[in-house]
Amino acid sequence: MSHDYRLADDSVVRSHWDDALERGGEMLVLAGNDVTLLSPIAAEAALAARGGITVGDLERHLLAEFGAPDEGDTESAVRALVDTLVGRGVMSVEPAE
Amino acid sequence: MGEVSATAFRVLLVDATNTGRSVAGERLLRKHLWARGVGRDRIRITSAGLNAEDGASMQGIARDVIEAHGGSAQGFAARSLSAAMVDASDLFIVGTGAERDELARRHPRARARSFTLAELARLYGDIDLVAPLHEHAPILERRRLERGVPDDWTLPPWEQLDERARAAGDRIAEAALGIADIWAPLAAVAALNDAAPASDASACVVDAFGVPVALHCGGAVRDELAAAGRRAWSRCLVEDAAPETRVDLMVDPDLDVLAEARARGMLAYPDVDHALHYLSSAVTVRAIEQRVGSLVMLHAAGLASPEGDVVGFVAPSGTGKTTLARTLGAHYGYVTDETLAIDAGRTVLPYPKPLSVLGAATLTKEQWGPESLDLLPVPRGRLRLTRLALVERDPTLGDVPRVEELPLLHGLAHLAEQVSYLSKLPRQLHTLADLVESVGGLVRIRYREARDLLPLMPDLLAGER
């Protein structure tokens, strides 16, 4: 039953929410019926993807803003972040054309 | 105001091929809900398969199981799971824990809202979940993670395939019946044909945070049921109020009479205790649906000072609010043990409903009116929210509770999980933030026993006045 669902660099992700509060770099967002507290990195990712952004560009943007993660590689960290945000309804992956 | 438009609660059953367990679950859940007067306009049950072949027929064993348990096997064609189906579902019921993990991996939106039937049967088995159906998934997920519930049933050895399949079918049928019993009182909506106040001894009107709800009793022990209902709901009874919604309740020993009543959307049970138990959930959820978008409605207990100042103790269902309200309610006015409703001016609308208390003799939960438990009434006049506290019971603590101020966004993140229909409120998170800031922010209190909270009450009541 296993498939490889790893996002490609040119996959486009877009964030969306119905209401949000920002304080101290963190964001609290309401997307549908789900409320999610975003860390400064997640908040930056959500803001950067407001108009749609490729996963590769998002990775480069976050690397420039925050530097490389303390553990693991940036590529995996960004994909894990996107996966979490998609799970909370804050982000969606645009269908490939 | 007015009742929320009938947004169906959407349930998707998922397994590998959509030809066996998921079909049986779909058809048996539909059967039991239909028999309780709940149509697809209130709860929509469909199924799909992770690796299904579109249009495939169901397996013969699934057909046998469905028909053996009185369901309909007609008009079925398998469907392969799509992202659109996931987006259009509120809760997922999966065949096994492995299938749940695979579903979540492929579709992150299904994460934290997917349960096996075995998990649902166990999770619902020990909690009185008094909340609209759309709120059940996060509540159940929290309990699943806390309790480490087994996700599969014990079945006969794999070599005995036929016996194994039939055993699985029996478990599915049993779980579908149990789930339908829990969901139906929260979903069935009886038509409010007559807006007239209840006019005889078998009917009355109760006020649930400003919503007049008509209760109509029937069945062989109608008078006994009505008297028990009036006793339990004594603090909520109102005269001459035009009901906005109604609940029809029946107790009768005749199973055919009960089945016929359920099919008409009545809450019908063989004994008074069960009837009153489900009545409490039904009244609460129907009242909540009447005030969607106009009140902040929290899963919280409320206690009031003689001056009308109210402290709200916010906690998820099944984590001790009733015990807290019962303990503190001997010293402060009992506002509610379940739903704390607050208007835009910070006025609290009381809901002194019956409390669900474990009976000493029967070891089952009984509905006790606040009068019977000697809980203090709220003072006359306006009730005003002065403090909100997120509470967590922790048996490992000493007898001094731990109180911690929470940063606004962190507090709101926790609080939001305990708000009914937050997304329907005007200004949504901003409304909630305004409320929290108007009472001086949120505190989190960890405590061992409810009585340990008593010494904190003067400080909590001295909050924002």
Which pLDDT score is estimated for B188? 63
Q: Which of B9, B111, B423, B434 to mutate to test the interface with A (most CBs of A within 10 A)?
A: B423
* Cβ atoms of A21 and A28 closer than 8 Å: yes
The pLDDT confidence band at residue A2, using thresholds 50, 70 and 90, is: very low
Nearest-CA residue of chain A relative to B17? Answer: A1
Length of chain B: 465
**A87 closest CB neighbour out of B108, B422, B423:** B108
CB contact under 8 A, A37 and B430: no
d(Cα A91, Cα A14) in Å, to the nearest integer?
5
Averaged pLDDT in 10-residue chunks for chain B of 465 residues: 62 96 96 93 96 96 94 96 94 93 94 92 82 91 87 78 88 94 82 53 93 95 94 94 93 95 91 92 94 97 97 91 96 97 97 86 77 96 97 95 97 96 96 97 97 97 74
CB contact under 8 A, B428 and A33: no
Strand, coil or helix: B217: strand
Nearest-CA residue of chain A relative to B426? Answer: A19
Q: What is the mean pLDDT of residues A70-93?
A: 93
Closest-CA distance of chain A to residue B53, Å? 14
CB contact under 8 A, A1 and B428: no
Closest-CA distance of chain A to residue B42, Å? 18
Cα angle for residues B242, B246, B251 (degrees, 5° grid): 130
Domains in chain B: ranges and CATH: 9-187 (3.40.50.2300), 203-288 (no CATH), 296-461 (3.90.228.20)
CB contact under 8 A, B111 and A21: no
DSSP A52: -
- Provide the number of CB pairs (under 8 Å) joining chain A to chain B: 64
* Cβ atoms of B309 and B384 closer than 8 Å: yes
The string of DSSP codes covering B6-71 is: -PPEEEEEEESSSSSHHHHHHHHHHHHHHTTT--TTTEEEEEEETTPPTTPPPPHHHHHHHHHTT-
Nearest-CA residue of chain A relative to B98? Answer: A1
> Dmax of chain B from CA atoms?
70
Which pLDDT score is estimated for B128? 76
Q: With a cut of 0.90, is the ipTM above it?
A: yes
d(Cα B49, Cα A54) in Å, to the nearest integer?
30
Which pLDDT score is estimated for B200? 75
CB contact under 8 A, A36 and B413: yes
Which pLDDT score is estimated for A3? 38
For residue A5, pLDDT over 80 is answered with no
A40 touches chain B (CB under 8 A): no
Task: Give the mean pLDDT of chain A.
Answer: 91
What's the token pair of residue B2?
A: 């007015």
* Cβ atoms of B96 and B66 closer than 8 Å: no
Residue B142 burial by Cβ neighbours in a 10 Å radius (0-12, 13-18, 19+):
middle
Domain boundaries, chain A: 15-89
What's the token pair of residue B301?
A: 């207990």
* Cβ atoms of B169 and B24 closer than 8 Å: yes
A3 touches chain B (CB under 8 A): yes
Contacts of B427 in chain A (CB under 8 A): 19
Which pLDDT score is estimated for B198? 52
Q: Which of B10, B292, B409 to mutate to test the interface with A (most CBs of A within 10 A)?
A: B409
B105 touches chain A (CB under 8 A): yes
Nearest-CA residue of chain B relative to A27? Answer: B409
CB contact under 8 A, A87 and B109: yes
